[in-house]
Structure 1
Amino acid sequence: MENKILEQMGSIIGDWVPKEASIAIAAEGCYIYYKAGAYDLRITEGQPVIAGSIAARTGKEQRRVEMLVEESVLGTAYYGIGYPVEIDGKNGVVVIILPPDFAVRRLQPLKFLTGKLEEAWRPVSVERVSHIESSQKKTWFYTEDDTYCSIHTLKNLRNQLPDFFLPIHRAYIVNIHHIEEITRDMASNYQLTMKDGSVLPVSQNYAASVRGRLGF
């Protein structure tokens, strides 16, 4: 039963954290669950929690801990966030493990997006990106010429893009520099026509923020 709960917890958390993140859960001084992401510390179930790690500090202080851990602790440097939890009546810890440069990258807007076009991955300058869409559980971004598939979720991208990107709908983020005009549809809702000809809806939940950002 406990293993099934841990698997469910890992899957739920995995839907919200970056794809590169690994997820570790520890209780009573050892790791009891590990789900490897692209940045993998190769932690194994039953492995002791090492002093100086985020799991150790979070368990000791019983509070959220976010920090960079040096290579000397686990053999590989990492940036992570630890959360105290209760598991089957015992104090436990959930740790989100990320690359050591994650904190720096989070503070700096993305300069390019890498997307898959046919069978190749291609980096594309964000200035060229007209808009980004979430559709059928995938994220797509568009330039004047091509459509690319991205591994990132729209939610993760929203906080990493430069300030000339504007959320207009839960499924769309647009590059303000690529907006051709703003009009209303038959139901009097705002819609944006992009320079590539795409017509995108502005949801009512975002209408006020769109008007505020664009000044109309």
Structure 2
Amino acid sequence: MKLRELHIPEGGFEQLKIILEDWIPKEASIVVAIGDSYVYLAQSTQHNHLKLREKVLPDSIAARVLKTRRKTDKVIDQSIFDVPYYVVGYPLTIDDLEAALVIVLPSIFFNENQPYKFLTGRQNEDWSPVPTDQISHIESLQKRTWFYALNEQYKTNITLKELERRLPEQFIRIHRSYILNIYYIQKIKKDLASNFVVLLKNGVELPISQTYLSHLRSVLEF
């Protein structure tokens, strides 16, 4: 399926690219698939030596998104450029046609020891990649993980245990249910029962458990 058959102005995809560039790494490439074909590519400098396949292969992330109409978490896929890359797929509707948006991440994401630069969060049926420096804290509640950024709440499938291991060093565990970004701390105080609590700059108050208090004291030197 050719781009001209979609009745979408060429600038429509470029507007999508401009919006996404505020949320994804500049080294990432953006691919859109409709039906059995890729119809758009915004190629980063990291991938500009690679050639995009014309057809969507049945075992690709794009094919999975088109079939399930669900976001597909980061996986290694070599069906787009013939070499393996980490990708994230999202369902879209374009010109009343079901489409798949695929973000091809840079090579650095192969290294599992690298800290997360962003988390992809869900709100209703929408997914948003959120830079970690915008995240104030993360919560485990009712067997689900939620993170908070710019006064918005997002759900993620990543556990607190994995997040504790992979988040940048400014994130610290303070409770079995909470991880916080120390840059968002306004002050640490004691409540009426003489338990330590942390007040964030956005007004949120979180408990500090005895299990994590000594480590927090060591990091913040108080």
Tell me the TM-score normalized by structure 1: 0.51
Match of 1:168 in 2: 184
Change (3 A) 1:100 1:57: farther
Aligned length: 141
CA distance in 2, matches of 1:54, 1:81: 8
Could you say what secondary structure the match of 2:47 adopts?
coil
Residue 68 in structure 1 maps to residue 68 in structure 2: no
| Deviation by residue 1:155-210 (Cα, 9 ceiling, x = unmatched) | 345674113562238xxxxxxxxxxx99xxxxxxxxxxxxxxxxxxx98426746x
- Work out which of the residue numbers 61, 85, 90 in structure 2 matches 1:83: 90
Question: What is the CA-CA distance between 1:28 and the residue it aligns to?
Answer: 2.2
Opposite residue 25 of structure 1, the aligned amino acid is V
Could you tell me which residue of structure 2 aligns to residue 121 of structure 1?
Answer: none
In the alignment, structure 2 segments of 5+ residues that lack a partner are 1-7, 117-129, 136-166, 173-180, 189-198
Partner of 1:49: 56
RMSD (CA atoms)? 3.8
- For residue 9 of structure 2, the aligned residue among 2, 5, 9 is 2
Q: TM-score under structure 2 normalisation? A: 0.50
Task: Confirm or deny: 8 A CA contact 2:65 2:90 kept in the other structure.
Answer: yes
What does 1:104-183 align with in structure 2 at a 5 Å threshold? 104-105=111-112, 108-109=114-115, 155-157=131-133, 160-162=167-169, 163=171, 166-168=182-184
- List alignment gaps of at least 5 residues for structure 1: 111-153, 170-180, 183-201
Q: Are the counterparts in 2 of residues 50 and 74 from structure 1 also a CA contact under 8 Å?
A: no
* Closer/same/farther in 2, CA of residues 13 and 43 from structure 1, 3 Å limit: farther
Whole-angstrom distance in 1 between the partners of 2:33 and 2:105? 17
1:205 counterpart = 2:202:
yes
- Residue type at the aligned position of 1:205: N
Please say if 1:32 is aligned against 2:25.
Answer: no
CA contact (8 A) 1:68 1:79 kept: yes
